[in-house]
Structure 1
Amino acid sequence: MIDPRFPARLLEDLSQQRSTEGPRTRLNIDRHGDESEELPPGLVPFARDGGGGVWYLDVEDCLKKGVGAIFYLHMSEVYGDTRYIAASYDELLQRVAEGLHPRDMPTFDELASRQAPKSVRVPGIEGLVDVERVHASTGRPAVVTVHDNARCEGGFVARAGTSVYMTDAGRIQFVTLAERAVVDGIPCAGDTVLALHPKTGRPLRFTPAEPIVVDGLPLAPFHEVMVEDPIYAPSVSGMLARDHDVEGLPLAAGTQVRLLRGKLDQGTLRADANVAGTLLPAGTWFELLSGTLYRTRPPAT
């Protein structure tokens, strides 16, 4: 978008849709860039780099680097991945011409983590930890290493010497279990990875210590289960505990299976079957894409 608070040179480049390219990055002028939900409204987008990265100009000094300061954030990243690039648009053009790449500059999280404390206690984890990374947005730990086996909020125990990942709200999101634990009613095996939904605490990645049924799939113990993105692209995958039919297809015990948005996405046949209009022999692994046979792997010989 064109903002009257932009400096004169940027307003001219925007009106002419004049893009700039340096040895290592580009400024593709974009008059209609979407504002980021991660950054304050005073950070106004004015260009893209052609790879998903967006250049922003701070018209209100929201981030305290001065009015007109330039920041960079990829569309897939969050606030802590923001990078301060230059004090002005003129300085940005000069630095791009000299070979600047935005990834050369530290992120907000990296800057906040430079003085991360060691041998401290943090909420939600018993015992001492070393803070490895900090959320710039809240100042809370993002990644810590536990000194000894440490009981965590939620009742499970983190294995000594491993990293625990935490959200910017202070919730544990990723941990290596030191011992068996029951999490949200699911018995999880010790010495395995546990990933939790950042808001609900629901296990998204775990290794069950007992047979379990997830979305109608009978899954085997001691094989990792993945329950991914339960909102936008819900899926579940794991090892079948026994022969099981899904959508009329005979699937084999002891093989990987996956449902995507409640529909069969991949599996291995235990008997000959017609899969999306193609007859496949027993033992064939297949993958579907929008209900169409995408690829197959013949039975092992």
Structure 2
Amino acid sequence: MIDPRFPARLLEDLSRGGSIAGPRTRLNLDRYGDESDDLPGLVPFARDGGGGAWYLDVEDRLQRGAGAVFYLHMSETYGDTRFIASTYDALLQRVSEGLHPHDMPSFDQLASEHAPKNTRVPGIEGLVDVERIHASTGRPATVTPHDDARCEGGFVARAGTPVYLSEHGRIYLVTLAGPALVEGVACAGGTELFRHPETGRPLRFTPSEPMVVEGLPLAPFHEVTIPDPVYFAEVSGVLARDHDVKGLPLAGGTHLSLSSRIFNGTLRADAVVAGSALPAGTSFELSNGVLRPPLIRGGAPS
């Protein structure tokens, strides 16, 4: 349904449909859906064909003036929003002159223009440089500690490496300076730890001890991912020993990715994989349940 609060020229263009193109971007006019979860109160009126959408702020929610135009890609969040033009007419003019949405700074970039250095932030001991700020909350989004820094959660962040924080201040990505026990998981030092931004649960890490995930015996000192509805669709890691997975006899040392179906593996015995008889020692990869060539034949990994 076309919003009657749209300006007359936009209403006219929407009634005709079609596209408006400039040298570097295109507006496919279409009142196609509801407002974005990240931009409540803003009404979409066009798409770019690549997952991006233009929104009209009909009630001046973002305080750039009623009728201001904003751009946000469907895979991005509030901080990635870009103010494009003060009116629809101004947007058309800028598009005709060669504007691309990413020419304009995001809200996070604007908020980070004067990010402080040599400062302290909650949850991290010692001095840090703030590299990026969440426009939504005004809190640090990325910081770099000057020295190895103990963090809330009991682990130590490596000096000079970025630490990423959620909009609410929880560390969710960090390079560990040394071994750490995180939510009961023994993690190796020197590796990246990705934690759930809300719960702190480790979702991607390198364990320093053997562990079992989703029934799979996984080896230490190889990166592991834990399935999560939002962040990781599959479990991955290296099998600590010979193990049957989805009815297939896989060899210890196999790097494995698994969700509802198996994506890859190395056979320790002859088996039928996706309808093909394969000998022991074959490493295979599946795409949508179909074997992808070339198959690698040889001894199973040690």
**Structure 1 length-normalised TM:** 0.95
Bigger shift: 12-21 or 66-75?
12-21
**Secondary structure of 1:121's aligned partner:** strand
1:38 aligns with 2:32: no
1:268 aligns with 2:266: yes
1-structure distance, mates of 2:257, 2:155: 27
Structure 2 residues not aligned, in runs of 5+: none
Change (3 A) 1:244 1:296: farther
CA apart distance, 1:300:
4.1
Q: Read off the aligned partner of 1:279 and give its amino acid letter.
A: A
Question: Residue in 1 aligned with 2:239?
Answer: 240
Q: Deviations over 1:157-200 (max 9, x none)?
A: 00111110011011101000011101111100111110001112
1:7 aligns with 2:7: yes
Q: Percent identity among equivalent residues?
A: 71
CA apart distance, 1:154:
0.7
Q: Read off the aligned partner of 1:267 and give its amino acid letter.
A: G
CA apart distance, 1:152:
0.7
1-structure distance, mates of 2:295, 2:197: 36
CA apart distance, 1:294:
4.8
CA contact (8 A) 1:233 1:260 kept: no
Q: Deviations over 1:23-64 (max 9, x none)?
A: 0001110022332110022x1100011111100111000001
Question: Residue in 1 aligned with 2:78?
Answer: 79
**Secondary structure of 2:121's aligned partner:** coil
Q: Deviations over 1:228-254 (max 9, x none)?
A: 434586311011111111122111111
Q: Read off the aligned partner of 2:275 and give its amino acid letter.
A: G
Bigger shift: 221-230 or 79-88?
221-230
Question: Residue in 1 aligned with 2:29?
Answer: 29
Question: What is the CA RMSD across the aligned residues, in angstroms?
Answer: 1.6
2-structure distance, mates of 1:136, 1:15: 36
Aligned length: 299
Q: Read off the aligned partner of 2:125 and give its amino acid letter.
A: E
Q: Read off the aligned partner of 1:158 and give its amino acid letter.
A: A
2-structure distance, mates of 1:249, 1:32: 46
2-structure distance, mates of 1:91, 1:283: 64
CA contact (8 A) 1:116 1:132 kept: yes
Question: Residue in 2 aligned with 1:67?
Answer: 66
CA apart distance, 1:293:
3.7
Equivalent of 1:288, from 286, 291, 296? Answer: 286
2-structure distance, mates of 1:36, 1:132: 27
1-structure distance, mates of 2:246, 2:285: 14
1:158 aligns with 2:157: yes
Q: Read off the aligned partner of 2:80 and give its amino acid letter.
A: D
